[in-house]
Amino acid sequence: MLHQGSWFSSLMILSAIFSLTSFMLKSEGANHTVGDSSGWELLTNYTNWTQGREFHVGDVLVFNYNKDQHNVMQVNSTAYADCGRDNYISLFTNGNDSIIISEVGEHWFICAMYDHCENGQKLSINATL
């Protein structure tokens, strides 16, 4: 028969194992193909695309696009609002870019080619744990 202290210790160990397992499963993350089958292109409304989706740390944003016509620039909130291209965080140009969400919070992406950002080719997401 377990003593009350032993029972509590066993319960705490099981709880820790469950929490660690849940974290490990979640850390694999989900893939989100930006724009679904349309990909990263000029005519998609990315605000609508994010509706009903949840983004978490460890998830992957997959940007598929024609690299001769588009790119993906990760920017701050000001550059997102103004379509600024001077002070970016990262620039992706492969045409099939996978970006792992590594931090909680807002993340902003624009296409820096021509006037694409000004015409709506930009994405804002909010990632949680």
Q: Is residue 112 part of a domain?
A: yes
Global confidence as pTM: 0.79
Q: Is residue 103 part of a domain?
A: yes
Structural domains counted in the chain: 1
How does pLDDT run along the chain (129 residues), one tens digit per residue? 545 556 445 544 545 444 444 444 445 799 999 999 999 999 999 999 999 999 999 999 999 999 999 999 999 999 999 999 998 999 999 999 999 999 999 999 999 999 999 999 999 999 999
Distances (CA, A) of 32 to 60, 83, 118, 122: 6, 23, 24, 15
Token pair belonging to 62? 């997959």
Question: Do the strands 90-92 and 96-100 form a parallel or antiparallel pair, or are they unpaired?
Answer: unpaired
Range of the domain at 107: 29-127
Residue 50 maps to which CATH number?
2.60.40.420
